[in-house]
Amino acid sequence: MSIDLSQFFDVFFEESFEGLDAMEAELLNLEPGKEDSETINTIFRAAHSIKGGSGTFGFVSVSDFTHVLETLLDQIRDGQRTLTAEHVNLLLKSVDCVRGLLGALQAEEEPDLSESNELKARFEAILGGESAEEAEGEPQEDTTQALQSTTYQIDFKPEPHLFKTGNEPLYMFSELAELGQLEVTAFHDGIPDFLEFDPEDCFLHWRFFLTTSKPEQAISEIFEWVEDDADIKIEACGGLFEDDTNTTEEINTSEAADLPDSSAVAEVSAPEIKAEASPKADENIAAVQKKVESAKNTKKSADSTATSIRVGIDKVDSLINMVGELVITQAMLSQIGDQEITESSIAALQEGLTQLAHNTRDLQENVMRIRMLPISFVFSRFPRLVRDTSQKLNKQVELKLVGEQTELDKTVMEKLSDPMVHLVRNSLDHGLETPEERIANGKDPVGTVTLNAFHQGGNIVIEIMDDGKGLDTEKIRSKAITNGLISESDDLSVEEVNELIFMPGFSTADSVSDISGRGVGMDVVRRNIQALNGSVEVTSKQGVGSTFTIRLPLTLAILDGQLVQVATHTYIIPLISIVESLQIDISKVSKVGKGLEVLRLRDEYIPILRLYDIFSHQGAREELDKTLLVVVESDNYKIGLLVDDLLAQQQVVIKSLEANYQKVDGISGATILGDGTVSLIIDISGLIKLSGLRRPGSTELLVDLKGEEAEPV
């Protein structure tokens, strides 16, 4: 049977990568001397599965390498060897190595074996060369097979319990028959009296004469599974040579003479069987190679980023349930549509539409849930990172992960990883002190870095906390002055100073270290997070620690929007950024420099942005008292957007403007409304930039009149 193994490759790669992640996580949990057997077992199982799979699917480089891994783990598991820190380090390196090998294989490239060979040699050194010997001593095909047929007498006397092992003698016999010429005699002398007869037991025994060119091993293999459950005797009792000069084999001539017919058969069948046997293996290899090649050709442009996600069956079930509901509603509506329109049918129609809206919303929420994955997918890479980094820095660090089950959209998660790595590295490198410094400051020599994730409203909040020395405000200030970001005279609060670390081209590290500060600054972190509609802030107390807080929307695909009208156009403002909407009290509007209007709202001054002005629309209402002001908040600043009217609130599906048109300043995307028209979604922070409200290089809005009275209009 020919089965194309390549169809299982994707699943194999996916589960192997998962296995490697699990191995890595468990390895990091291991403390030599304190290892528990379940952890070792999990690691072993992962290595074992990868080895088994790679062997089966023909990835020899991986299976060879994982074999030594597995051997070592097996010895540790059985208590033959004690786990050392060196083992853990080596195993961690191997995880990376196997990941590399598999990655190359997945991309259909030739894997680089230099690292794996080196690691393998080190494992073999630990194992004392055992595995090298083992590899040599691995079962080899019997090549000494002589070109001759031998007749064997086989006595097979099973124990009564044979059937209860699940073995079937009849199948064994037919296998024997496949080896050559077979003669069978069954003996039933062991069958007891009826009263003692147990129908579940085996009382028969057999004698066979088999003439075959196969080695004796082939026969014993057939009985391999019942060796201990039966009395089996295999004796070579004679044979016929096809090569007359070979006389080393013991021959019982009388027996052989008794079987003239079988020898004739054997002569014919022997070369056939041999011819079939050995090229078969080559064929298999050739077939596999061919398949790999053909796979290469067809998937030349295989995109390794095309990933899949695993979805719990409960999520799929609830989806199917929803779709079922939807179908029922649709059936109901079409039934109403078929009827004559009457007053009562209109009521039923409305009811049906309400239900449809309800169903659609449920379905949408559930589909979104499919994309949601626990943040542990990102968190899980940090134990390793922290371990490696802290070793490099000679710092003692404990990593705490909180809220690992908090769910987050997969796309957001992928983009979140890099900024988080940067922030964690930063905490380790700049935040935490060395053990000596910590002891001198009366702190626990072991520093703590905590990753905390939780949901807050429609956002996910991720905190990266360290109990290190905190941000050095003075240093930041003087550095900012040197870099010309602020001037000597600027009187900034601690928070404002701390904000400066997110400015482009800012780095306080005295020397650029290997760990962080390799040119990628905090500004990039902030930019990346803002690109996800998120924000990042820092709070810090000198000597106590720092906390970086990342806030992100749960998903990038859907947004709760407020539809607003500007002239004849409909825009969408993300509901989450709206603080309030109000009619303007003209008496509270003041004009400040450059003709900017501000509204005094309670104790704050809100700059007014006229949307029609920014987007150059004609025919909008311009009188402040006839329009509405939508107060929105972004990056901790409030601004007011002047709109003609507020329309409905609805969930909108975000379509990328960049993918379909081009990037437009002040607009984060577009959506299609119920009536089919395209509506643009306003990007608040982009809008602030566009309006020129913010001084370049400053976090302050041009208008910040706190505590200072503005001139009335």
- Residues labelled catalytic: 48, 70, 426
Q: Write the CA distances from 240 to 182, 258, 263, 271, integer angstroms.
A: 16, 12, 7, 14
In whole angstroms, how close is the CB of 176 to other proteins at the nearest point? 11
Nearer to other proteins (CB atom), residue 292 or residue 480: 292
* Helical packing angle, 60-77 and 114-126, nearest 10°: 30
525: which 2 tokens?
A: 């972190």
The stretch among 63-71, 186-194, 319-327, 447-455 that binds other proteins (CB under 8 A) is 63-71
Residue entry with tokens 């169903």: 359
Comparing CB distances to other proteins, the nearer of 172 and 525 is: 172
H-run or E-run covering 460: strand 459-466
From 20, 222, 432, 486, residue interacting with other proteins (rule: CB under 8 A): 222
- CA separation for the pair 463, 452 (Å, rounded): 5
Cβ distance to other proteins smaller for residue 42 or 581: 42
Please state the closest distance from residue 273 (CB atom) to other proteins, in A: 14
Q: How far is the CB of 77 from other proteins (least distance, A)?
A: 10
Sheet holding 645-653, edge to edge: 645-653, 558-566, 569-574, 678-682, 667-672
Between CA 270 and CA 242 the distance in angstroms is 10
Q: How far apart are CA 441 and CA 406, in angstroms?
A: 35
Q: How far is CA 397 from the centre of its chain?
A: 26
Decide if residue 187 touches other proteins (CB under 8 A). Answer: no
Phi, psi values for residue 608, rounded to 5°: -100, 125
With CB under 8 A as the contact rule, the residue among 23, 28, 67, 669 that binds other proteins is 67
Binding-site size for other proteins (CB under 8 A) equals 44
Nearer to other proteins, 74 or 496 (CB): 74
User: By CB under 8 A, which span of 218-226, 393-401, 479-487, 555-563 interacts with other proteins?
Assistant: 218-226
Which residue among 39, 55, 242, 523 contacts other proteins (CB under 8 A)? 55
Instruction: Report if residue 71 touches other proteins, rule: CB under 8 A.
Output: yes
Q: Is 192 in the site for other proteins (CB under 8 A)?
A: no
Minimum CB–partner distance for residue 6 and other proteins (Å): 11
Residues 270-299 that bind other proteins (CB under 8 A): 284
How far lies 171's CA from each of 3, 187, 216, 217, 570, in Å?
25, 18, 19, 18, 78
Which amino acid is residue 511, in one-letter code? S
In this complex, which beta carbon is closest to other proteins, that of residue 13 or of residue 637?
Answer: 13
- Pick the closer one to other proteins by CB: 130 or 250: 130
Lookup: tokens for 460: 């996910």
Task: Identify residues 86-145 at the interface with other proteins (CB under 8 A).
Answer: 138-139
Shortest CB 184 distance to other proteins, Å: 17
Strands 180-187 and 205-212: antiparallel
Q: Which stretch binds other proteins (CB under 8 A): 66-74, 187-195, 324-332, 687-695?
A: 66-74
CA within 13 Å, CB half, 701: 28
- Of 96, 159, 163, 216, the residue at the interface with other proteins (CB under 8 A) is 163
Nearer to other proteins, 170 or 268 (CB): 170
Residue 590: CB atoms within 10 Å: 18
CB of 58 vs other proteins, minimal distance in Å: 9
Q: What is the largest CA-CA distance in the chain?
A: 129
Q: Which of 166, 442, 674, 676 binds other proteins (CB under 8 A)?
A: 166
Residues 6+ apart with CB under 8 A from 560: 458, 574, 575, 576, 649, 650, 651, 652
Residues 570-609 touching other proteins, rule: CB under 8 A, are none
Region from 38-46, 101-109, 570-578, 672-680 binding other proteins, contact rule CB under 8 A? 38-46
CB 546 within 8 A of CB 468: yes
Instruction: Restricting to residues 11-30, name those near other proteins by CB under 8 A.
Output: 11-12, 14-15
Q: Of the listed pieces 165-173, 253-261, 401-409, 673-681, which binds other proteins according to CB under 8 A? A: 165-173
Instruction: Give the interface segment with other proteins, choosing from 50-58, 203-211, 519-527, 549-557 (CB under 8 A).
Output: 50-58
- Among 88, 102, 105, 172, the residue binding other proteins under the rule CB under 8 A is 172
Contact 455, 461 (CB under 8 A): yes
Residue 86, token pair as written in the block: 């060196």
CA distances from 689 to 74, 487, 614, 634, 693 (A): 61, 22, 11, 11, 6
Cα dist from 662 to 555, 656, 659, 668, 685, whole Å: 22, 9, 7, 11, 18
Name the amino acid, one letter, at 281.
A
Minimum CB separation of residue 236 from other proteins in Å reads 23
Q: Phi first, then psi: give them for residue 651, nearest 5 degrees.
A: -80, 135
Phi/psi of residue 348, nearest 5 degrees: -65, -35
377 near other proteins, rule: CB under 8 A: no
- CA 539, 540, 543 angle in degrees (round to 5)? 165
Smaller CB separation from other proteins, 46 or 641: 46
136, 189, 193, 228: which one binds other proteins (CB under 8 A): 228
Distance (Å, whole) CA 272 – CA 659 = 64
Q: With binding defined as CB under 8 A, does residue 42 bind other proteins?
A: yes
Nearer to other proteins, 27 or 630 (CB): 27
Residues making contact with other proteins (CB under 8 A) = 1, 3, 5, 7-9, 11-12, 14-15, 42, 44-45, 48-49, 51-57, 63, 67, 70-71, 74, 138-139, 163-168, 171-172, 175, 200, 222, 224-225, 228, 284
